[in-house]
Amino acid sequence: MSATLDIRLKRANKVYREGEVVAGVIVLASKEPLQHHGITLSMEGLVNLQLSSKSVGVFEAFYNSVKPIQLISTNIEVAKAGKIPGGKTEIPFEFPLHAKGNKVLYETYHGVFVNIQYTLRCDLKRSLLAKDLSRNCEFIVHCQPQKSRVVPTPVNFTITPDTLQNTRERSLLPKFLIRGHLDATNCVISQPLTGEVVVEHSDVPIKSIELQLVRVETCGCAEGYARDATEIQNIQIAEGDVCHGLSIPIYMIFPRLFTCPTLETTNFKVEFEVNIVVVLHDDHLITENFPLKLCRI
Amino acid sequence: MQADARMRPRGRRYEAELQRCRPEVAVVDFGDYHPLKPIMVTDTKTRRGARKGSTSSSSSSSSSVPPDPLSSMLDGTDPLSMFAAASATETLAMSRSASTGDLGRRRREKEEEVVGSDFEPWSAKRGEILARFTTTEKLSINLCMGSDRGKALSPGASAVSEKVRTRLEELDDLEEGSQRELLNLSQQDYANRIEELNQSLKEAWASDQKVKALKIVIQCSKLLSDTSVIQFYPSKFVLITDILDTFGRLVYDRIWTMCSDPRPLPDSFTLEDVNDQAKETCLNWFFKIASIRELLPRLYVEAAILKCNRFLNRSGIQETLPRLTAMIRGIGDPLVAAYARAYLCRVGMEVAPHWKDSLNLNFFDLLGTFKQLGGESVQNQLVIQRVEMPEYLTLYSPAINWILQCIAYRAPESLLTEMMERCKKLGNNALLLNSVMRAFRPEFVAARASDFIGMIKDCDEAGFPKHLLFGSLGRSLVCADPPESERLTILNEAWKVITKVRSPQDYINCAEIWVEFTCRHFTKREVNTVLTDIIKHMTPDRAFEDAYPQLQSVIRKVLLYLHDFSVLFSMERFLPFLDMFQKDSVRVEVCRSIMEVFIKHQVELTKDPVILNAMLHICKTMHDSVNSLTLEDEKRSLSLLIIGFIRMVSFGRDFEQQLSFCVEARATFCNLEPVLVQLIHTVNQLAMETRRVMRGSHSRKTAAFVRACAAYSYITIPSLSSIFTRLSLYLLSGQVALANQCLSQADAFLKAAVSLLPEVPHSISVEGKLRSSESFLLDFINNFLATLLVVPDHPEHGVLYLVRGLLNMVQDYTWEDNSDAKVRVYVSALPLLAAMSQETYIYSVPKVDSNETLYGGDPKFLSELNKLCETLIAQILDHLKTLGRDEQSVRRQGALAFSLFGVLLAHGDLRNNKLSQLAVNLWNLSHKHGYCDTRVSVRTLENIKHQAQQPDAAHLSDMVQRLALQTRT
């Protein structure tokens, strides 16, 4: 069967904000005329929460999946049962983007334990003999810009053997002095994380310096809450024994979909942190952690 | 047909005939007459051309000067150079985008405003780097496609949508087994592998597997962080950045075409012209690349698609360049970092050539990291790889040269000075110094040559090799002249260092450059000293054997500046220098180049014994290289060179000396026939020259001399293999001998030619193809017959000895079957016999008595001639008969009959009834089968009628009556 169904949104980047209209067309292509039992289009926004096996145990994780939170749900019938002529047919549609009840439309976020996703789904029902056609299309919601101004506050840091916690043998550590700063820890999500790091001195050659972006997801439920930190991405900013005394730029773009403005609700939280990881040539791993606050302006 | 018709030659008055044939003198103002000038007015009247007694035709044309087609072509731009220029920029444009037509051109023009053709492009450096940085060690490629896929391309893979996940799985399947390490690759294998990757990148792109394409690029750029087999690193960089360039172009072109849906995107497009779809795709690429885990691939890939920033925002490129520049600071290995900078500069120059700041930033950062070179990590690496510091430092040269070239391009003088000062301040600056000298304008370097020498001297011995420094300096000084007063000091200082270089290879590389400087500014004395030094260095252990290309280049440079060969050969050490070329092929090559220069630049004839000796020596070397395996072309070109030399030799009035030179040359160049031919010509010319000097009458001494010349030719000719060359030389030499009153010699030459005739083969090879020799033979015989008119009969032999001999040979020669050649010879012999029977011959040789004087119209002689004619005509008629028997040969019969008719008409006495009857018969025969050309017949008839109007030619009008034109059927 050569009939195909597709949803095309007007905006190429598929990004919408609350209050805007999600507009597009349903594209039907078929060589012969197409008999059908009705076409429907639905829009849905869901927050999926999942408990990690680590925090609550394997079985609870399996059984106690938290019920998804519905943020938006609309249904329209695009066409009644009938026949669509052969060739390409485009049916335009529009949905106003308004939250259900007093809910807030959170920003699209793809995480491990928390997923916020908005989809359009188009179904074309057909007689028993032919399979129904269906098409999903995700669109992206950005939350409203934050009202208050973000004032960047630089954060300086110095890493030496003495500043480290969680070391077993402080005396065995080679000597090093690494200084640097982050231009801000309250970051605008559409702008990169920037800063500088300088290896002032190190006895052991440096193998690598990395920026690790970490998501911290907290899911609350009746039994308590689970908080998990997982890596989103790891960006190497220095490789090999870098020149001492030369400032190395810290620069990381926040990946789309995998990050969102820091989110705190009654049921779940999504926060972000960045680790500056220095790997020495003898495989010593030095990590400096900075909590971030992401926002959208 | 009357076979017994007698040929009666008609009496001729050549003078009167000539008078009649001459056109009336046209009025031409010779003052401004030139055959190539546009013809203004020409008025010519000829009696001969007039037909049917009509008034003389006059043609006059006056026209305004038409435009010369040649100059009008050259009026605008020369189309050839236009093409050349176009194709040159075409390649440039190709490497940037596949856009075509007007758009492409405009884009090019725009870019050239900032980067002109004087900017040496990267493509010019590629080959040089690949050739220079090689290794014999085994290499490895570690490609692990998709191993860090999760991290690099889909963070949080667990959450990706169903569709994406399956797609990624598909990709994994696709590349199963591509995660591998290739070990033990030779350098060539390595290059091939990289090229394969380049191909698979293009394929992946073409089949819409963008993710796979990106993976290939990432993996490739990752290879650049591997510095094992460090000697190969620069070449590796070249190979891999080719892939990156391909990738950058693919991405840019794709986004570009996305925007050119309704109509192509204009070259100077603005953001508004870019549609959302394209922007989104572009942004996607940047996001994808921003999440590449490793530093080096992230850096290189982003640099590769730097140009795409144009689709996103105005200032993208200007913001990205400094950021990427800063990012390079994170690269620990200084070599890797330097090359990354070079790549960034390269992309920067291409995309935003006016944006110089990041170039400078790059350079300053480079200076900042310079202390790393002496650092522990580098030292350890060198120990492990067993690479010496000087060699290691040279690995940097291409990168730093390139960066500095970008910076120095059209940079103000002040910037260059500043850069130089910075280099000066830095320790271990030899490497930089080298690049400065290579990259900065030669004029800039030349003006400060003394400073540079000072700095070079201060450099650390253990660091960058000094001979390379001097090499770079020398290269600049060749392009631009240092101040006059400093030149000698510079040479002295430089040579002081160069002469101390131990390794012959390093020494000659450097010396080769400085030879040009020496030749350019100094006299033969200095050049001689330099050559002496080179000989001294290169002779021990036969070091020259490994340095032929450089030594050849030394010779080339010397020849470039010293054109005066007397000076050149008077340099003591020049010939000993040549002796260093002991490999035959190279030596011949060198001799050849010397000869080429000699032929090009030696304008005056020479008899300088120094030049002659040396050149003879050189030519002998070339000649001696010829053996049975030498190709024909090779022989020919060598011969041409030697001939060129022989033609330049002249001893002026000392003809004997010249002859003895020819004798010597003959002995020396006996294997090259063209040279021998030239020698014979030279000697013949010599004889004629002698005759000219003596104004035709030889003294006893000169007579002996010209006889010697004849003897020379006579001895030399038989050694030639080509029979036609021999024949024509015999004839020519015979003519020369005759002109010089050497009758017996001329006789001998002509006799030799005649006796050679039977040996003429039926087919000869002309330009590699076998051709029938018949036409050549006929030509020669006709020529020969013309000469025979003036050759007096030998007193001891019978009348017309040579003519008979020739005709006998012709008779006996085995002609090709079905050929009329023999009879054609007979037909053409008739005019000779007719001419011989005149009282006064049409031409004669001064001071030589021809048969006309010898026999003085003796009736016996005349009857002899007539008998001969009869025999010939009888033969011809016989042949005509035979031809008539066969249907197929009637056409030939007609043609032959007509030619005989022509001869009779021109030379026969047609008052004789029999003869005129024969002529009429021949005419009818030729028209019998309708094969003859009517136009020719008509014109012949007209001519006869015209002739008939002459007094005493009344008989012709009778004949005309009997000549019927063929009626068309």
Taking only the tens place, the pLDDT of each residue in A261-280 is 998 888 888 999 999 999 98
What is the distance in angstroms between the Cα of A112 and the nearest Cα belonging to chain B? Answer: 6
- Chain B residues whose beta carbon lies within 8 Å of the beta carbon of residue A236: 293-295, 298, 330
> Is the Cβ–Cβ distance between B357 and B322 less than 8 Å?
yes
B280 shares contact with chain A (CB less than 8 Å):
yes
Structure tokens of B378? 């580098």
Burial state string for B543-557 with b = 16 or more CB within 10 A and e = fewer than 16:
bbeebbebbbbbbbb
B601 shares contact with chain A (CB less than 8 Å):
no
Structure tokens of B92? 């440039």
What is the distance in angstroms between the Cα of A147 and the nearest Cα belonging to chain B? Answer: 26
The C-alpha angle with vertex B58 and arms to B55 and B61, in degrees rounded to 5, equals 160
- Closest residue in A to B225 (Cα–Cα): A239
Alpha helices in B352-396 (DSSP H): 357-368, 376-385, 389-394
pLDDT on residue B65: 44
CATH 2.60.40.640 residue ranges of chain A are 3-142, 153-295
Q: Tell me which residue in A234, A239, A243 faces B369 most closely, judged by beta carbons.
A: A243
* A239 contacts B293? CB cut-off 8 A: no
pLDDT on residue B167: 46
Quick count: other Cβ atoms within 10 Å of Cβ A63?
9
pLDDT on residue B51: 43
Residue A172 vs residues A93, A169, B269, B613: alpha-carbon distances, Å? 67, 5, 61, 84
Return the DSSP state at A163: G
H or E segment at B850? none
pLDDT on residue B732: 94
- Closest residue in B to A242 (Cα–Cα): B332
pLDDT on residue B173: 41
What is the distance in angstroms between the Cα of A281 and the nearest Cα belonging to chain B? Answer: 11
Q: Which fold has domain A3-142?
A: Immunoglobulin-like (2.60.40)
- Residues from A contacting B (CB-CB < 8 Å) are 11-13, 110-112, 115, 138, 205-206, 209, 215, 230-243, 246-249, 251-253, 255-256, 258
pLDDT on residue B607: 87
The H helix count followed by the E strand count for chain A is: 2, 21
pLDDT on residue B25: 56
**What's the rounded Cα separation, in Å, for the pair B643 and B634?**
14
pLDDT on residue B68: 47
B279 shares contact with chain A (CB less than 8 Å):
yes
B371 shares contact with chain A (CB less than 8 Å):
yes
How confident is the model over A3-32, as a mean pLDDT? 87
> pLDDT (tens digit, 9 = 90+) per residue, A120-145?
999 888 887 778 888 899 999 988 88
**What's the rounded Cα separation, in Å, for the pair B967 and B969?**
6
Of A107-111, A219-223, B473-477, B764-768, where does the model show the most confidence?
A107-111
pLDDT on residue B105: 45
Q: Tell me which residue in B156, B286, B326 faces A112 most closely, judged by beta carbons.
A: B156
Q: Tell me which residue in B159, B277, B330 faces A237 most closely, judged by beta carbons.
A: B330
**What's the rounded Cα separation, in Å, for the pair B294 and A240?**
12
- Closest residue in B to A234 (Cα–Cα): B293
- Closest residue in A to B289 (Cα–Cα): A253
- Chain A residues whose beta carbon lies within 8 Å of the beta carbon of residue B312: none
Which of B295, B301, B358 best probes binding to A when mutated, by most A CB atoms within 10 angstroms? B295
- Chain A residues whose beta carbon lies within 8 Å of the beta carbon of residue B331: 238-240, 242
ipTM for the complex?
Answer: 0.90
pLDDT means per 10 residues, chain B with 969 residues, are 59 79 59 53 44 41 44 45 45 41 44 61 80 72 49 38 46 45 72 86 87 88 84 87 89 85 73 81 89 91 88 82 89 89 88 79 82 80 83 85 83 78 72 80 82 79 77 84 85 85 86 87 87 88 86 88 85 87 88 90 86 89 87 90 91 90 91 92 93 90 93 93 92 93 91 91 82 88 91 84 89 84 90 88 86 83 89 90 84 88 87 86 84 84 85 80 68
B365 shares contact with chain A (CB less than 8 Å):
yes
pLDDT on residue B780: 92
Nearest residue to B294 (alpha-carbon basis) of A35, A279, A107, A229: A279
* B159 contacts A242? CB cut-off 8 A: no
pLDDT on residue B47: 44
Q: Locate tokens 């109007």: which residue?
A: B949
Which residues, in sequence order, are CB contacts of A4 under 8 Å at separation 6+? A27, A28, A29, A30, A133
Residue B800 vs residues B214, B807, B825, B831, B832: alpha-carbon distances, Å? 95, 11, 17, 15, 11
Domain A153-295 has CATH 3.90.1660.10: no
The C-alpha angle with vertex B197 and arms to B195 and B203, in degrees rounded to 5, equals 110
Quick count: other Cβ atoms within 10 Å of Cβ B413?
12
* B331 contacts A249? CB cut-off 8 A: no
